[in-house]
Structure 1
Amino acid sequence: MKFLAITLIVHRPDPVTGVLKSTHDRFREVLDNAVLAEELGFDGFGVGERHERPFLSSSPTVVLSHIAALTRRIRLFTAVTTLSLLDPVRAYEDYATLDHLSGGRLDLIIGKGNGTAQRDLFHVTPEDQWERNAESYEVFRRLWRQDKVTAKTRFRPELTDAEVWPRPHQQPVRVWHGSATSKESVDLAARYGDPLFSANVTHPIEPYAELIRHYRERWEHYGHDPAAVAVGAGSAGLYVARTSQEALKDYRPVFESSLAFQRANGLPVVFETLEDFAERSSALIGSPQQVIEKVHRYHEEFGHTVQHVQADASGLTDARHRDSLERFQSEVAPALRTAIPDPPFAWGPVLAGPQVPAGEPASLSAAVR
């Protein structure tokens, strides 16, 4: 099993202390967390994309490029790239550049995105967002695979023998499809034989498990090998402590502050108590053994081979957050890596062969360090 640490770069007051970090300090925190994730042995680090309050993740390519320069091994994920809002040509240019700069460490998770404010900002409607997402992805994947592209498009100017630069490093980049509640994203992933990443954050397990079952059905419908399926899954929170009692005690202020925020902003409350949240949500809160057992329970339903956890402290003290991540990597991850298989593909760069002439650096990332 592989493990990612992911941030949406939420920028609001600390849910426990009420302190709001400056924008500069919040970005610095993201960079520090990415470096820490690599030091602790995480397999990937993901940055979201949102174009509305309270997120600072409107430019994941820039953030991930900076992280690429600070790290050497860890794979870089988007979580998610909102292709329904983006020009696929411009998105290709940005991500192909990032892929070269990182030495082929890029994976994309794509999705239509959420939020009324960002839809309004880009003049996207609920009625056309799925069609935009599908069209943008179809153009994007062709640009990555073909030197010249001709495409009749509805939501951007048509392409005629278009050449887009730089040409790719990975051939092609791996694209996961983010899935929360809709069958459209699941079907698009299955159609193209791409891996699926379940959000698995807001609700109990059942609706996510149903979508993953549908994905597997559609995968076979489109004629793909069932053994080649790859599924990732998110989590609603992380705190691994020595004992379950300690975990609940330390995490309670975080949960209660989050619950108060949901109620104050008219957001739906799914889990009324911390005990219910720890038991029925995807949050990994408890002793190492409890967390191991919970991931196994989800794996029995999902068959997932990639698990993401929150990269941010989210109200925990810095010391407790770091201790939790260290405990996860030292006591939880090894057991899960042994018991649950990796995805059915190599984790490293997807390369067709030598990419540079003899005598030049193996990657631009090596050249700039």
Structure 2
Amino acid sequence: MRFLAITLIVHRPDPVTGVRTSTYDRFREVLDSAVLAEELGFDGFGVGERHERPFLSSAPAVVLSHVAALTRRIRLFTAVTTLSLLDPVRAYEDYATLDHLSGGRLDLMVGKGNGAAQRELFQVTPEDQWERNAESYEVFRRIWRQDRVTADTRFRPPLTDAEVWPRPYQRPVRVWHGSATSKESVDLAARYGDPLFSANVTHPMEPYAELVRHYRERWEHYGRDPADIAVGAGSAGLCVTSTSQEALDLYRPVFESNLAFYREAGLPVVFETLEDFVARSSALIGSPEQVIDKVHRYHEQFGHSVLHVPADAGGLPGNRHRDSLELFQSEVAPVLRRDIPDPPFPWAPVLAAPGPVAGPLPAPVPADR
């Protein structure tokens, strides 16, 4: 099994202290989290994409390029690239550049995205967002594989024998399809033989497990070998401590503050108590043994080989969040790596272009030196 640390770069007051950092400091926290994830042995670091409050993740290619300069090994993920909002040509240019700068460490998760404010910002409607997502992905996929592309598109100017630069480093980049609620994303992934990543963070297990089952059915419908399936899954929170009671005591202020925030914002509340949240959500809160058991229970339903956990403290004291990540890597991850297989493909650049791999660019010198 492989493990990712992921951030959506939420920028709102700390759910416990009420203090909100500056935008500059919030970005520094993200960079520090990425460096820490590599130091602790995580396999990937992901940055989401949102174009509305309270997120600062509108430019994941830029953030991940900086992360690439500060790290050497960890793979870089988008979570997710909202192709329904983007010009696929421009998206390709950004991510092909990032892939070269990182030495072929890029994995993409793509999806339609959600949120009324960002749909309005990009003039995308609920009625056409799925068609936009599918068209953008198909064009993006072809550009990555073909030197010249002709495409009769609906949602951007058509392409006629078009060249797009730079040409790719990975041939091709691996693309995961993010899925939260819809069978459209699941079917798109199965149709093209791409891996699936279940959001798995808002509701109990069953609706997500149903989508994963549908993905497997559609995979076989398209004549593909079930042995080639790869599924990833998210987690709604992380707090690993030596005992379950300590984890509950530590996480309770975070949960209660988030619950108050959801109610004040008029957002749906799925889990009314911390105990219900720990029992029925994908949150990994408890002792190492409890967390291992929970991942196994989810694996029985999902068959997933990649798991993401929150990169951000999310209201936990910073040192306690680091302790939790360290305990996860020292006592949880080794057991899961032993018990659950890796994805059915190498965790490495995909068919990298010929020639020596020089590695990413050196880290920039801080401005105050």
Q: TM-score normalised to the size of structure 1?
A: 0.97
**Structure 1 position 283 matched with structure 2 position 278:** no
Q: Deviations over 1:105-150 (max 9, x none)?
A: 0000000001000000000000000000000000000000000000
| Alpha-carbon separation, structure 1, partners of 2:359 and 2:244 | 46
Aligned position for 1:317: 317
Distance 1:244 1:89, change over 3 A: same
Q: Deviations over 1:282-324 (max 9, x none)?
A: 0000000000000000000000000000000000001100000
Matches within 5 A, 1:199-218: 199-218=199-218
CA shift, 1:364, in A, is 5.6
Q: Is the 8 A contact 2:52 2:118 kept in 1?
A: yes
| Alpha-carbon separation, structure 2, partners of 1:30 and 1:353 | 30
Q: CA RMSD in A?
A: 1.0
Read off the aligned partner of 1:139 and give its amino acid letter: V
Q: Is the 8 A contact 2:193 2:224 kept in 1?
A: yes
Structure 1 residue matching 2:360: 3-state secondary structure: helix
**Structure 1 position 365 matched with structure 2 position 346:** no
CA shift, 1:352, in A, is 4.7
Distance 1:364 1:242, change over 3 A: closer
Distance 1:367 1:315, change over 3 A: closer
Aligned position for 2:53: 53
Aligned position for 1:350: 350
Q: Is the 8 A contact 2:169 2:352 kept in 1?
A: no
Q: Is the 8 A contact 1:232 1:304 kept in 2?
A: yes
Q: Is the 8 A contact 1:101 1:363 kept in 2?
A: no
Q: Is the 8 A contact 2:111 2:179 kept in 1?
A: yes
Q: Is the 8 A contact 1:100 1:363 kept in 2?
A: no
Q: Deviations over 1:248-297 (max 9, x none)?
A: 00000000000000000111100000000001000000000000000000
Q: Deviations over 1:23-63 (max 9, x none)?
A: 00000000000000000000000000000000000000000
Aligned position for 1:359: none
| Alpha-carbon separation, structure 1, partners of 2:174 and 2:362 | 24
Aligned position for 2:71: 71
| Alpha-carbon separation, structure 2, partners of 1:3 and 1:355 | 29
| Alpha-carbon separation, structure 2, partners of 1:191 and 1:66 | 33
Q: Is the 8 A contact 2:171 2:353 kept in 1?
A: no
Read off the aligned partner of 1:28 and give its amino acid letter: R
Q: Deviations over 1:59-91 (max 9, x none)?
A: 000000000000000000000000000000000
Matches within 5 A, 1:242-257: 242-257=242-257
**Structure 1 position 264 matched with structure 2 position 264:** yes
User: Which runs of structure 1 show a deviation greater than 3 angstroms over 4 or more consecutive aligned residues?
Assistant: 366-369
Q: Is the 8 A contact 2:70 2:363 kept in 1?
A: no
Read off the aligned partner of 1:320 and give its amino acid letter: R
Aligned position for 2:186: 186
Matches within 5 A, 1:103-182: 103-182=103-182
Read off the aligned partner of 1:84 and give its amino acid letter: S
Q: Is the 8 A contact 2:70 2:362 kept in 1?
A: no
| Alpha-carbon separation, structure 2, partners of 1:157 and 1:148 | 16
Read off the aligned partner of 2:314 and give its amino acid letter: S
Aligned position for 1:98: 98
CA shift, 1:354, in A, is 1.6
| Alpha-carbon separation, structure 1, partners of 2:318 and 2:262 | 24
CA shift, 1:367, in A, is 6.5
Distance 1:353 1:94, change over 3 A: closer
Read off the aligned partner of 2:85 and give its amino acid letter: L
**Structure 1 position 196 matched with structure 2 position 191:** no
CA shift, 1:341, in A, is 0.2
| Alpha-carbon separation, structure 2, partners of 1:148 and 1:368 | 34
| Alpha-carbon separation, structure 1, partners of 2:355 and 2:169 | 7
Identity across the alignment (%): 83
CA shift, 1:365, in A, is 1.3
| Alpha-carbon separation, structure 1, partners of 2:223 and 2:150 | 27
| Alpha-carbon separation, structure 2, partners of 1:364 and 1:77 | 17
Q: Which runs of 5+ in 1 are unaligned?
A: 357-361
| Alpha-carbon separation, structure 2, partners of 1:131 and 1:363 | 39
Q: TM-score normalised to the size of structure 2?
A: 0.97
Q: Is the 8 A contact 1:259 1:269 kept in 2?
A: yes
Aligned position for 1:293: 293
Aligned position for 2:15: 15
CA shift, 1:355, in A, is 3.7
Structure 2 residue matching 1:51: 3-state secondary structure: coil
| Alpha-carbon separation, structure 1, partners of 2:148 and 2:363 | 30
**How many residues end up aligned between the 2 structures?**
364
Aligned position for 2:367: none
Q: Is the 8 A contact 1:7 1:312 kept in 2?
A: yes
CA shift, 1:353, in A, is 4.9
Q: Is the 8 A contact 1:169 1:355 kept in 2?
A: no
